[in-house]
Structure formats: C-alpha cells, structure tokens
Amino acid sequence: MDTRLLRYFLAIVEEGSISRAAARLHMTQPPLSAALGQLEKDLGVTLLTRTARGVVPTPAGHALTKHSHEILASMEDVRERLRHIHEGGVGDLRLAVVSPFLWGRLPELLRRFVAVAPDVDVSVSSPAPLDVLDAVRSGKADLGVLSVTETAELRERYGHELHVARAGSFPLIAALPPSYAGAADPFDLAELDGATWIMARSTLGVASLPEIIRDAWRDNRIRPQRERTVESVPTAMPLIAAELGVTLVPEPVRTMPGPGVVLRSLMQDLPVLESAIVWSRREEPSAVMRRFLSMAVG
C-alpha cells in the first residue's frame, strides 16, 4: 500500500473537505480526488461519503483512519530503525585486543562509543597476538588491536589481507619486584644490568615490546643474567612479584600491576609502544565498525 495515499486520505478526513485538504497539502483538488479514487479502487471499498458540508468517513473509512495512524507510525519506526542501523547505532561489535590496549585506552573508548550507540552489543576478548590476527582473518572478530613498535611495519607485512591503522601509543615503564620498593622514580635502567629479565614472546614477525627491550639493553650496556620467556605481559606480573625477574611494560599496566609489583617511570627516553587496529580486507566494514573506527583511529 502506498503510504502517500494514506497520508492524503488522513488529511481529507481531518479537514472534512477535499478542497481544504488539497490546500493543506499544497496541491490542487483534481489530483487529490484522483488519489482518493485510486486508494478506494486498491482497497475495493468506498471510504468517504460526500455531504453538503464536505466529506465524512464510511464505516470502512473510519476503520482505515485508525489503521492508517498505526501503519504510518510503524513505518516511521522502521525508517528510524533503518537510519539507526545505517549510522552504526545497532548491531554487534566483536573486539579482540591485546592487554595494553585493553587496560589503557579501551575503557574510555567504549564509554564514548556506548554513549552514542547504546544498542550495539559489544563483546571483548584478549587473546595472544597471533590469535588476534587469526580471529580477524576468520571473521570471529570484527576488529583486532595489536601492540607494535611501528604501525607502518605491521601494515607492510599484513596489509595485503588486513587494513591497518594506528590507534594510539603508550610509553614504557619498569616493572620491578618488591625488593625495589625504594627505587627512585624516574628509574635508571642501567641499574638492571645483570638482572633476570622476563620477556613476552615475539610472534608477529614485526618489532614489538621484546625488540624495544633488546634495543634498550644495547643502548644502555645492559647484560641480562638470564631471560625468562612468557606468553604475554599479564603472565609476567606474578613472576615479577615473586622476585623472579624484571621487565618493561606499557604504562597502562599501572591500572593492574598486582600485589608486590613496583612500577617506575624511566630516566631513559625509549620508543613508545603503538597500538595498531586491524580489520579484514575481504569485505567492507559495517556501519558499526566504521563508527568505532572513527573514534579509535589516530
């Protein structure tokens, strides 16, 4: 049914006159009369009775008046719903992010996003870096966030299959065991010469936190007594608290170091750890993804 004809019909009923309705609709009377005739033909009923004072609805016309308001209100709801979907206000958003972004930027970003898109169902996972890539490749995650030294290097390696954009950066700080509770802040890395260092595994094939740490060893003439390898930054925290080593971590770790871990800013000027957001090239990003990306990228 043509909703335009319903609007014309309602205007005639409300005005009680075809001529007055035509004036209200900014049209002449003949095409409005023709539209009414078309509606009656489509429905197979007479909708209006002509009187000396104008027109009045027939029983069928009264019923259509009631249903027309409901139909038009429903159509407006559908139109608003579709507009909301088109603008990224409805849908699902699946994020797979590494821990620095999870602790650091994501909470504030999600607060802003949910404020403008409260009907989007957001889910967050924090897998290992390679699993972030696999989740995005397989479609299990819409967007992934990784930690790297340079976003451009990640783009060069994976740009053939993934879009890659910078989503912020974090400075590095020292994560030390309880025996360093009295250490100065800022802390001199040179004091960690001969220490046992805990290193997150490097798996992406591009420079990340382990490479920054190794460069810092070289530049500050630090020779580790031993290296312990862990899967991720979070798994290093209990080992540090147990006096089993030291490391450098992204600054957002301040929000969750765990008991016993001593955190200190650094005297040395080290490279920052960049957050890189990735999404598949196989299909265009959804409106929800575009809305989130507009807030996250930069």
Residue 132's CB is within 10 A of a number of other CB atoms, namely 24
Beta strand pairing call for 119-125 and 90-97:
parallel
Counting Cβ atoms within 10 Å, is residue 142 exposed (0-12), middle (13-18) or buried (19+)? buried
Kindly state which CATH superfamily the domain 172-271 is placed in. Answer: Periplasmic binding protein-like II (3.40.190.10)
Sorted by where each begins, the domain ranges of the chain are 3-86, 90-169+275-296, 172-271
Kindly state which CATH superfamily the domain 90-169+275-296 is placed in. Answer: Periplasmic binding protein-like II (3.40.190.10)
Nearest to residue 146, comparing CAs of 121, 165, 122?
165
Q: What is the largest CA-CA distance in the chain?
A: 106
Percent of the chain that is helix, strand, coil (3-state, to 5): 45, 25, 30
Is 172-271 in the same CATH topology as 90-169+275-296? yes
Nearest to residue 129, comparing CAs of 114, 121, 141, 120?
141
Cis? peptide before 171, omega within 30° of 0: no
Burial 64-100 (b: 16+ CB within 10 A, else e): bbeebeeeeeeeeeeeeeeeeeeebbbbebbbbbbbb
Residue 294's CB is within 10 A of a number of other CB atoms, namely 11
3-86 CATH, one of 1.10.10.10, 3.30.70.100, 1.10.1060.10, 3.40.47.10? 1.10.10.10
Q: Compute the residue count for the chain.
A: 298
How far are the Cα atoms of 130, 186, 227, 278 from residue 212, in angstroms, in the given order? 19, 18, 15, 22
Write out the chain's pLDDT in tens, 298 residues.
678 888 888 888 888 888 898 889 898 989 988 988 888 888 888 988 888 788 888 988 888 888 888 887 777 766 776 676 566 566 899 999 998 899 999 999 999 999 988 889 999 999 989 999 999 999 999 999 999 999 999 999 999 999 999 999 999 999 999 999 999 999 999 999 999 999 998 888 899 999 999 999 999 999 999 999 998 888 899 999 999 999 999 999 888 756 789 999 999 999 999 999 999 999 999 989 999 999 999 7
Nearest to residue 148, comparing CAs of 210, 228, 223, 105?
210
